[in-house]
Amino acid sequence: MKQLGLMTAGLAGASTLPARLLADSGPASGTDAGAPAGKLFRIPDVETHLIASRNVEQTYEVRVMQPLMRTGERTRFPVLYITDGNMSFEVAKGISHSLQGPGQVRRYILVGIGYPGRNPHAGDIFRGRDYTSKRRAEIPGRTVSSPIEGVAGIAAGKKRWQGADEFLAFVRDELSVLIDTKYPTVPGDRAYFGHSLGGGLGLHALFSQSDLFNRYVCSSPSISYDGDDYGIREAQDFIASGKRLDAKVYMSVGEEEELDPNPAISKPHFVSSVFRLASLLRGAQIPGLDLKVRSYDGETHASVWPIAFTHGVQFIFGPAERPPMA
């Protein structure tokens, strides 16, 4: 297999791939590797890639889960990209296998976008840079270092905020090229999941680069902060353009979020802003947009995202025609 520029990384099964070499990663994975004799089904191992981006001054750790498949199966699958991969990938992987196995949801490939290291907080600082658009003013006094041992920060003089467009360019021009080259995907059938700032990033992609994904789960999206409705204004601008949106969008929030005593959680007004945006979008009757909105009783900003993921993937993908082992 041709692997120009491939370097072994300090992680089992990981590879560091300069962005310009993604197309040299070899044939689709997970379709030809043999299973033990007599076994009819297999789940390919999770694969990890370290990708030094051209668009962002960052190396990303990307983990890829493929679904249960019949040995030798040639099916191609949609891809679900999830942000905050250090924190979310393992939970999302378990939920995905749980739902896909009985056919409660169509099978998909899960791609977790994170940062080097196994610390679940590895992305705490970088996410502020990568998930905020130019419409979002930086939070006054925001720190760019972490008090947690082993969690990297942003060096002085480096970009620290409003890097969403560069991050989305990484997904479009670098990461999706790798995934479509190496795995059995349906090219162009891309879904997105993000929570909080990640949810806001999803809506920014929806309104600014609507062809990047065609399915979205935006959990507790950050679209307002302390009276600045930056994300709602972006939606208003899109509506004024008269364009259509060919997308399924699941947007949700936890009932208790706006009551949180932590200003970082209460100032975004997650609950009221989500329902104001939902009212705006429904009233606009945007051609092609299939929107569902949910509020989860008793759930907080910290507890709601796995529930949003569970229900969201069922909405955007729908049930399988039959379970994979049927």
Give domain limits for the chain: 7-138+152-317
Residue 36 has what pLDDT? 58
Query: 136, 128, 123: which is closest to 158 by C-alpha?
Result: 128
Q: Do the Cβ atoms of 271 and 304 come closer than 8 Å?
A: no
Q: Is 33 exposed, middle or buried (0-12, 13-18, 19+ CB in 10 A)?
A: exposed
Is the dihedral angle over the CA atoms 92, 209, 189, 5 positive or is it negative? negative
Residue 273 has what pLDDT? 97
Largest CA distance in the chain: 62
Q: Do the Cβ atoms of 197 and 88 come closer than 8 Å?
A: no
Cut 0.85: pTM above it: yes
Residue 220 has what pLDDT? 98
Residue 39 has what pLDDT? 84
Query: What per-residue string of b and e applies to 59-73 under the rule 16 or more CB within 10 Å gives b?
Result: ebbbbbbbbbbeeee
Residue 294 has what pLDDT? 98
What are the tens digits of pLDDT across the range 62-98? 999 999 999 999 999 999 999 999 999 999 999 999 9
Which residue carries 């729908």 as its tokens? 318
Q: Is 46 exposed, middle or buried (0-12, 13-18, 19+ CB in 10 A)?
A: middle
Residue 21 has what pLDDT? 37
C-alpha count within 13 angstroms, C-beta hemisphere, residue 24: 12
CB atoms near residue 171 (< 10 Å): 25
CB atoms near residue 74 (< 10 Å): 10
Query: 213, 222, 278, 200: which is closest to 248 by C-alpha?
Result: 213
Residue 37 has what pLDDT? 61
CATH architecture of structural domain 7-138+152-317: 3-Layer(aba) Sandwich (3.40)
The ranges of the chain with pLDDT < 50 are 1-27, 31-33
E strand segments, 46-137: 47-52, 59-65, 69-70, 77-82, 109-114
Separation CA 273–CA 300 (nearest Å): 15
Separation CA 186–CA 298 (nearest Å): 38
